[in-house]
Structure 1
């Protein structure tokens, strides 16, 4: 697999800021990790993506800093449209939706940029949101989104013909969204393969944190994607917060430390009669009965173990990667470490550069053993 770390952990909305990220953080992380080369999963806000898609000179400037810092680009994160480090993000991260032309245009800009910056002979991937937050969402919205993905398929084929580069877009299910689970995205895309959506260009991004929050079985989830005639394009290496017994006062006190105002932290409770849900951690603490284990959408550093009674779903991540690695194209899948929550962790306990370097070291030792690399961006 092709390993990288996602730069949406760093705030930057313009080219100068992204270049500074590459020099001050990504290059420093590569050196701290003792790597000759480091994969980066770049996040480009929509305004910057539009600018770079139109400016060969500025793409060349970005390419130059990537090369100078020993960085390799195979994947982009086009889920957040912009403002991902605003004081309050919450539901804004799901806008614009795939019923808004702006979402398609942004994704096409990202595809054009990635086609120009990919290493020779490499394919690229772009992760995107699962249509929208679940409400409001109408049948008309659904039809517009279907047409947008059909147009995207056509445009990505045209891009391949004109550049020789294959770029695939990966739809990333997330709790609370229109496409909440792997079953949702496999069903939605699978049902629309006859309506112009091409599985050669549109597939699935499996975020291991989101998968674990839904209490899904990794093997069954990956098998469902395959059975739908779809491709796992990208895996986001992430772990959710887990607690076996959220009714215990010590557990509730520890969980309260993860309540914060910037990002949404959806919660699922596994009970005898199914899975209960809350749209944020503060709501879960107030409303869910706490009669079964909780999974919280809070990306925890892969190598980190919170203090008992909290835990993480890192074992689900390992199982997910192992299942994807067994697919015929498994070594070609992009594996992107996406812990964007460093700035809101209750106690990170380590600096960002050393923390991400430690995550990448953990991923190389614990994930790539089960997932042989298609090439060697990290060495």
Structure 2
């Protein structure tokens, strides 16, 4: 979906396809028909944006096959779908029964992560709509915090230098600008805005920047205005925004039904208390209130006394698009947890999942409009 900022800048709104399990090209094309096309039709939109997730083997195959990229672009075009951003955080197997900390591997100390990200950039250069100003690839915030030392930090900076050089080469060869956005996340080397500033200030900031995930920002108990000010003052661009909401509980006992085995649900309180998963928060009796890294549907409200961090999402949108120009033009709805929600909230079939994603997209579209016109 597209929106025009009052300043004249085109904003792109998409939904992230890492909610779907397909990890081969045939399966990905199939999920366009099963989910993306019905979502576009439910929204009554001429064009639907996808924050496409391609597992590493698919990205590698497409990166070396120009005809396959052209064919995939045609599959998108005939369905009224477009791609300006890719989610390059999960390497593969993101909807396995158990993911947890595996999602942080390979990390930015490895050539595998560099190769995967440049493969994605090469693919995206051919998928971009002709009128898109640029493309973005979001990625993990360097690595999980353990193990991490000076040697690993130095290696990661070398990888980022190679990444920037590779992106420059892609721009030279294709004429398309592709930028890579590092996504601060609880428990990682880059968890907070201050850590993003510290770790990214020395990189090529024309090509490398931040993906601001609003659920992660909430779990760090940061305020959007403060975070954006710190990034701006450091000269680090917000190259992508993930529109997401986390769970919040003043009475943590109500969160027990959200404990599940697939994803990591880092839990934080405003006093700086932190644990790496929701079950650990119960075991250690972490004092409340809690915010939990559990992406929940943007448009719905959980049962009391639970709430979500949607108010922070609205505040962030106001900061991002409410000024004389937009801070960022790529907005991706990333609720990948539909399949692990408590049973009574979980979609039971493809049609119900399409309904839910379409409702989220409509909510996000309306909130962006409100933010621009406030």
Structure 1 and Structure 2 fold alike (TM over 0.5): yes
Is 1:57 the counterpart of 2:63? The answer is no
**1:328 deviation in Å?**
6.7
Instruction: Give the conservation status (yes or no) of the 8 Å contact 1:37–1:72.
Output: yes
**1:349 deviation in Å?**
5.3
Please report the TM-score for the alignment, with normalisation by the length of structure 2.
0.93
Q: Which residue does 1:19 correspond to in 2?
A: 29
The 3-state SS of whatever aligns with 1:87 is coil
Q: Size of the alignment, in residue pairs? A: 357
**1:181 deviation in Å?**
1.2
Q: 1:164 to 1:371 in 2, by over 3 A?
A: farther
Instruction: Give the conservation status (yes or no) of the 8 Å contact 1:232–1:324.
Output: no
Q: Which residue does 1:205 correspond to in 2?
A: 211
Hey, what's the Cα distance between the residues in 2 that align with 1:96 and 1:75?
A: 21
Question: Which residue, out of 310, 317, 338, partners 1:314?
Answer: 310
Within 5 Å, give how 1:62-77 maps onto structure 2: 62-77=72-87
Question: Which residue, out of 281, 286, 291, partners 2:283?
Answer: 286
Q: 1:289 to 1:98 in 2, by over 3 A?
A: closer
Hey, what's the Cα distance between the residues in 2 that align with 1:334 and 1:219?
A: 18
The gaps in structure 2 that reach 5 residues or longer are 1-10
Deviations 1:324-354 (A, max 9, x none): 2256762652000000000001032551000
The 3-state SS of whatever aligns with 1:330 is coil
The 3-state SS of whatever aligns with 1:367 is helix
Instruction: Give the conservation status (yes or no) of the 8 Å contact 1:278–1:288.
Output: no
Instruction: Give the conservation status (yes or no) of the 8 Å contact 2:238–2:328.
Output: no
The 3-state SS of whatever aligns with 1:336 is strand
Deviations 1:191-227 (A, max 9, x none): x2xxxx2111000000000000111011000111111
Q: Which residue does 2:228 correspond to in 1?
A: 222
Deviations 1:111-165 (A, max 9, x none): 0000011011321000000011100112111111101111111111121121110
Deviations 1:261-309 (A, max 9, x none): 0000000012xxx31001000000111342x311000000000100001
Q: Which residue does 1:377 correspond to in 2?
A: none
**1:69 deviation in Å?**
1.0
Q: 1:140 to 1:182 in 2, by over 3 A?
A: same
Is 1:171 the counterpart of 2:177? The answer is no
The 3-state SS of whatever aligns with 1:3 is strand
Q: Which residue does 1:366 correspond to in 2?
A: 367
Hey, what's the Cα distance between the residues in 1 that align with 2:86 and 2:187?
A: 23
Q: Which residue does 1:95 correspond to in 2?
A: 105
**1:369 deviation in Å?**
2.5
Q: Which residue does 1:298 correspond to in 2?
A: 294
Q: Which residue does 1:33 correspond to in 2?
A: 43
Q: Provide runs of 4+ in structure 1 moved above 3 Å.
A: 326-329
Hey, what's the Cα distance between the residues in 2 that align with 1:35 and 1:349?
A: 25
- More divergent stretch after superposition (318-327 vs 281-290): 318-327
Question: Which residue, out of 320, 323, 330, partners 2:326?
Answer: 330
Please report the TM-score for the alignment, with normalisation by the length of structure 1.
0.92
Hey, what's the Cα distance between the residues in 1 that align with 2:41 and 2:92?
A: 29
Q: Which residue does 1:152 correspond to in 2?
A: 163
Hey, what's the Cα distance between the residues in 1 that align with 2:47 and 2:125?
A: 20
The 3-state SS of whatever aligns with 1:370 is helix
Instruction: Give the conservation status (yes or no) of the 8 Å contact 1:331–1:371.
Output: no
Hey, what's the Cα distance between the residues in 1 that align with 2:204 and 2:325?
A: 17
